[in-house]
Amino acid sequence: MVRVSGPAAPAICHALVGFLPPPRVARLASFRDAAGEPIDRGLCLYFPAPHSFTGEHVLELHGHGGPVVMDLLLARVLALGARQARPGEFSQRAYLNDKLDLAQAEAVADLIDAASAAAARAALRSLDGALSQQVHALVERLTALRVQIEAGFDFPDEELDLFADGRIAAEAYELAHDLHALVGRAGEGRLLREGLTVVLAGAPNVGKSSLLNALAKREAAIVTAIPGTTRDVLREHLAIDGLPLHLIDTAGLRDSDDPVEREGIRRARAEIDRADHLLFVTEAGDPQTPPAEALGNAGAVTRVINKIDLVGEAPRIEPQIAWTDVYLSAHTGAGLDLLRERIKAAAGFHAGEGQFSARRRHVEALRRAADCVQRGAELLSGGGGAELAAEELRLAQQALGEITGAVSSDDLLGRIFATFCIGK
């Protein structure tokens, strides 16, 4: 499909197919070159402004999928005065023409890049405005709160009535609570979009690769009884109840004189430092303690006590002070469900139909807004500092505006839409 957006779309359609079809009605047409010879035969659709995705005149040409035919059609459209779109330009024009807000425009790319069915559904909900509607509702409440506070500056004689009963401070605390709750839901949405990096580490021959194969449900890694079989980082992508995982198997941690194995161990330690969740694999009967550097750098740590089938232990979860133990057998599969639940719980992930897609910048903006409102509430409840509280609420509203694009910069927009694919 070739899509054209802009004021020249109707003229290009006339030159290419000889007519302009009725709005939003597919018509069979011959796409012709400058000499009138047919390039292809397909469907032609016209969407007049402002009732189109971009808010401009849009022409869609649906032809046969061969690359040569589509290249000829594209070349003809360019010869008629169009130019190739930049990455994300259609969505950017939709945003600039108020057809989408910024969070919805980003959801278009998230839907395309979704790594699981749950992530795709969440992105579609964001495209439909699930995140934006909640942000807009919070902005309305924040605006009403700012009006009440700033009214005290304009009518100082009424200050006692406005602040003495603590009602405004209570409203601010309630708003901060709701913002913090949305931060949590947006964090789950970010996990759906970006996935969780889970690193398998431990001594050689404790069953790391067997565990990766068991979680992936296929033989992704080579498993032998020879210690040091895994020399390099092995990556596998899977999902647990919709949560995308980037599962990384690493070389066994030990002292070695082999330069190849030493390089594998160096890469393993680098992956441990970047892990959202470290699975430190050890053996039942003589479990090793996770190394101190792993406890300090990984986002969450689980000690996986593997091979319980060899010692007759039962699968179970036992929380410790610095990590959580999960007893399982990668060979038999006993306890794997407990590990999956542990990974979801440590990430704060709860699969649900109300989830929406979110990005790291959304979470950070919501967190800034929540912190600002919290500080404003504390200032108000302290019996003074109304001017400072008003400034905190203004900063909170500015942070929320960054999510939907009510407050943005050309640099931010450029970075966002540059990540889109061509044609979106």
pLDDT above 90 (res 339): yes
Task: Identify whether 231 is part of a domain.
Answer: yes
Q: Which amino acid is at 237?
A: H
In the Cβ-directed half-sphere of 127, how many Cα atoms lie within 13 Å? 16
* Last-in-domain residue among 300, 329, 347: 347
pLDDT above 50 (res 331): yes
Please give the average per-residue pLDDT across 57-64, as a whole number: 94
230 and 302 in a common domain = yes
Please give the average per-residue pLDDT across 124-130, as a whole number: 90
324 and 243 in a common domain = yes
115 vs 198 pLDDT, higher one: 198
Please give the average per-residue pLDDT across 348-358, as a whole number: 75
Q: Which residues pair with 5 in a beta bridge?
A: 58
Task: Identify whether 89 is part of a domain.
Answer: no
Which pLDDT belongs to residue 396? 95
Which pLDDT belongs to residue 155? 57
Range name among 48-52, 162-166, 210-214, 286-290 with the lowest pLDDT average: 162-166
Q: Which amino acid is at 417?
A: F
264 and 182 in a common domain = no
Distance CA(424)–CA(420), nearest Å, equals: 7
Number of domains within the chain = 3
Contact 110, 126 (CB under 8 A): yes
pLDDT above 60 (res 159): no
Task: Identify whether 269 is part of a domain.
Answer: yes
Contact 345, 302 (CB under 8 A): no
Please give the average per-residue pLDDT across 70-85, as a whole number: 93
The DSSP 8-state label assigned to residue 181 in this structure reads H
Supply the CATH number for residue 273's domain: 3.40.50.300
Show Cβ contacts of residue 65 under 8 Å, excluding neighbours closer than 6 positions. none
User: Which residue in the block uniquely carries the two structure tokens 């309305």?
Assistant: 140
Task: Identify whether 40 is part of a domain.
Answer: yes
Task: Identify whether 423 is part of a domain.
Answer: no
Which pLDDT belongs to residue 348? 81
264 and 183 in a common domain = no
177 and 197 in a common domain = no
Coil, strand or helix at 409: coil
Please write the tens of the pLDDT for every residue from 100-122: 988 998 898 888 888 778 888 88
300 and 172 in a common domain = no
Structural domain that includes position 373 = 130-192+355-417
226 vs 423 pLDDT, higher one: 423
65 vs 160 pLDDT, higher one: 65
Which pLDDT belongs to residue 80? 95
245 and 178 in a common domain = no
* Last-in-domain residue among 325, 347, 369: 347
CA distances (Å), origin 330, targets 1, 220, 286, 334, 340: 47, 14, 17, 7, 13
pLDDT above 50 (res 77): yes
- A 10 A CB-CB count for 316 gives 13
Distance CA(255)–CA(201), nearest Å, equals: 15
Contact 322, 289 (CB under 8 A): no
Task: Identify whether 422 is part of a domain.
Answer: no
Supply the CATH number for residue 28's domain: 3.30.1360.120
pLDDT above 70 (res 223): no
pLDDT above 50 (res 160): no
Supply the CATH number for residue 364's domain: 1.20.120.430
Which pLDDT belongs to residue 347? 85
Share of the chain above pLDDT 90, in %: 46
Contact 288, 282 (CB under 8 A): yes
Structure token pair of residue 229: 């079989």
- Whether the full predicted model's pTM is greater than 0.85, yes or no, is no
Please write the tens of the pLDDT for every residue from 277-301: 989 999 998 888 887 766 666 678 9
Confidence of residue 135 (pLDDT cuts 50, 70, 90): very high
From the list 324, 363, 343, the residue with the least C-alpha distance to 239 is 343
343 and 208 in a common domain = yes
Distance CA(335)–CA(328), nearest Å, equals: 4
110 vs 163 pLDDT, higher one: 110
335 and 366 in a common domain = no
* Last-in-domain residue among 330, 347, 364: 347
pLDDT above 80 (res 250): yes
217 vs 19 pLDDT, higher one: 19
338 and 381 in a common domain = no
Range name among 247-251, 321-325, 396-400 with the lowest pLDDT average: 247-251
Q: What is the mean pLDDT of the chain?
A: 85
67 and 204 in a common domain = no
Distance CA(379)–CA(308), nearest Å, equals: 56
417 vs 199 pLDDT, higher one: 199
Task: Identify whether 101 is part of a domain.
Answer: no
Which pLDDT belongs to residue 138? 94
Contact 330, 214 (CB under 8 A): yes
Task: Identify whether 117 is part of a domain.
Answer: no
137 and 172 in a common domain = yes
